[in-house]
Structure 1
Amino acid sequence: MKVALSLPYTAMPVLQLILAVQLVLLACGGQASDNVKRCGLRYESPTEAKALSRLEPLTNISFTVDETDGKESYTYQFQVCGDAGNMEGAGLVQIDKAGKKNKIVIGRYTVTQAIGGSDWVMLIYRNGSNYDGHCSKEMRKAIVMISCNRDVEMGQLEVKLEDREKQSDCFYLFELDSSAVCPVLPSKLSAGSIILIIGLVLLSVYLIGGFLYQRLIVGAKGVEQFPNYFFWTHVGNLAADGCNLVCRTRGPEDEPPTYSGVSVEPAEDPEERDDHLLPM
């Protein structure tokens, strides 16, 4: 059994607008999720996935910083879930300016750990290139601390520490400020303001959608382009009649008599009453 669903013509433009907005949001959401999904989480947990998703605005951006330590001078390049230094799988690389070793992988985004706080996210890249003579020749590891700063959309990458003077668990520490990890500020709007805004938005959609439908589809001209014009004019007339009935009162000159009196003939002129006594 087939059921035909009919909708008012004035509702069609509104539905089309809502569907278009939903499709755009869905397309944008799918594209954004693919960027952070390039990171391979070491521990597949909802907590780490949520922390990593907060870094979505920082994807597809290369952060670079120069560091000089004595005779050694390096350039570090970092990307969130992207190929730093055009090296596949490398999230953070070290470039030796002296040219002894062109590029060294500090950490790979294919082995990622993300830890999130209220206003910060710690990103850990593991499985970098092995040390030559430090840390028992273990693989390098990069820790990037991304802190909240509402005044900076994407700050400058800074090198804070290279802890390699121990037997194991060595790491590079970097810092980066960004507003992307800042918590969402609570809304200061009252419930009445929110309802008023929603009402104005719905009214605007109704007027604009109805106007376009009446003009482009129906072919209306003049005031008939207003959506449901005849309905609203009828409502206006009813409102005017109600206001006239409630707000306006009759004047004393318009009041009907409370009783019916005896009709009184107009008084005669005294001269006319004595005319019959005069001799002919």
Structure 2
Amino acid sequence: MMRAFSIFLILSFLTVLVFGADQKGCTFSKHLDSKAKKGEAQLEVLKGKRFKATDKYYSYDIGICSPAVDTEDTDKDIGVLQVNKTDPSQTKIVGRISSADIMSGPDWVILEYNKGDTYGSHCRGEDGNTPEQRRARIMFICDMSAPDEVATVLEEQNNKTDACYYLFEINTAAVCKKQPLITVGLSVGSILLIVFFCVAAVYLLAGCLYNRFVMHAKGMEQIPNLSFWEDFGNLEADGCDLVCRSRKSRQPRTYKGIGDDQLGESDTPNTDEHLLPM
């Protein structure tokens, strides 16, 4: 048992020695702020992947924080390697993993490799004499619908006196901002409505059963508190009248009869005297 455990420890140690340098990945010493750490976290899923890109004259091997070409005789620090299509023996190191930089935004991350091979006739620096070193900028764009992660050569910016670079683009969902999970739940109003209808159903069912089997009611009489519900509309109207109306109710008109004192004496002379006996 101890022998097997010792062999396991030796194999683990050898694995670390052989592959440890390759698995260190990128170290971003220039940027230590929160944005750089966020971009590094987004890039974590893509670390160790390799891509190929081509343009008219060259092909490019790209490694994401890992060697671009995994062969015994190739420098393990190469992040991007340029290969001439017509003569594959002509290669240029575009950028090195040990000189990596990172920038990030809401839906993009840029991984930059610096300290590649020096240029020849162009990109001579500000003084026009010192040749610049090549650099690679790998731009990861958020694309949730991207079926495959494919690297594309956008441009080789070598018309400047300084800050020349190779620009690559990779569409991937790995750098997309994680959307919060949407939890579908009931609102307070929905819960109150459900409780109300449940209570109403229990009230109606229990009341009907009580009136039918205990009070021996039939037909409409089985409805609990039937007289109250029959007068419910009138009770609402009375309540509304009491609460909402501010004017006093009109008093009923009274009609008085016309008395004899209100009648004036007739101007017509009394002509009934001839009916009296003489």
Normalising by structure 2, report the TM-score. 0.52
Identify which of 169, 175, 182 aligns with 2:169: 175
Identify which of 26, 38, 42 aligns with 1:54: 42
**In the alignment, which residue of structure 2 is the partner of 1:78?**
62
Q: Is the 8 A contact 1:35 1:56 kept in 2?
A: no
Distance 2:161 2:66 in 1: 30
**Alpha-carbon deviations, 1:217-261, whole Å to 9, x = none?**
xxxxxxxxxxxxxxxxxxxxxxxxxxxxx9998968xxxxxxxxx
Count of matched residue pairs: 164
Superposed displacement of residue 44, structure 1: 4.0
Q: How does 1:9-88 map to 2 (within 5 A)?
A: 38-45=25-32, 46-68=34-56, 73-86=57-70, 87-88=75-76
**In the alignment, which residue of structure 1 is the partner of 2:118?**
130
Q: Percent identity?
A: 27
Distance 1:121 1:36 in 2: 21
Aligned CA distance change for structure 1 residues 39 and 186 (closer, same or farther; 3 Å): same
Superposed displacement of residue 124, structure 1: 1.0
SS in 1 for 2:39: helix
Q: Is the 8 A contact 2:31 2:102 kept in 1?
A: no
Identify which of 166, 175, 195 aligns with 2:160: 166
Structure 1 regions of 5+ residues with no counterpart? 1-33, 194-245, 253-280
Give the root-mean-square deviation of aligned CA atoms.
2.8
**In the alignment, which residue of structure 2 is the partner of 1:31?**
none
Aligned CA distance change for structure 1 residues 180 and 157 (closer, same or farther; 3 Å): same
**In the alignment, which residue of structure 2 is the partner of 1:109?**
97
Query: In the alignment, residue 158 of structure 1 is paired with which amino acid?
Result: T
Superposed displacement of residue 103, structure 1: 2.4
SS in 1 for 2:106: coil
Identify which of 83, 86, 106 aligns with 1:118: 106
If you compute each CA radius of gyration, which structure gives the higher value, 1 or 2? 2
Identify which of 149, 158, 171 aligns with 2:143: 149
**Alpha-carbon deviations, 1:149-174, whole Å to 9, x = none?**
10126421111111112221111111
Distance 2:88 2:214 in 1: 107
**Alpha-carbon deviations, 1:110-153, whole Å to 9, x = none?**
11111111111111111111112221121101111110110126
Structure 2 regions of 5+ residues with no counterpart? 1-20, 125-130, 188-205, 216-278
Query: In the alignment, residue 65 of structure 2 is paired with which amino acid?
Result: C
Q: Is the 8 A contact 2:52 2:61 kept in 1?
A: yes
Q: How does 1:190-269 map to 2 (within 5 A)?
A: 190=184
**In the alignment, which residue of structure 2 is the partner of 1:95?**
83
Distance 2:81 2:181 in 1: 41
| Runs of 4+ deviating beyond 6 Å | 246-250
Q: Is the 8 A contact 1:94 1:106 kept in 2?
A: yes
Distance 2:22 2:105 in 1: 21
Distance 1:95 1:134 in 2: 19
Aligned CA distance change for structure 1 residues 100 and 84 (closer, same or farther; 3 Å): closer
Aligned CA distance change for structure 1 residues 80 and 175 (closer, same or farther; 3 Å): same
Superposed displacement of residue 35, structure 1: 9.2
Aligned CA distance change for structure 1 residues 153 and 117 (closer, same or farther; 3 Å): farther
SS in 2 for 1:84: coil
Aligned CA distance change for structure 1 residues 157 and 151 (closer, same or farther; 3 Å): same
Distance 2:182 2:49 in 1: 33
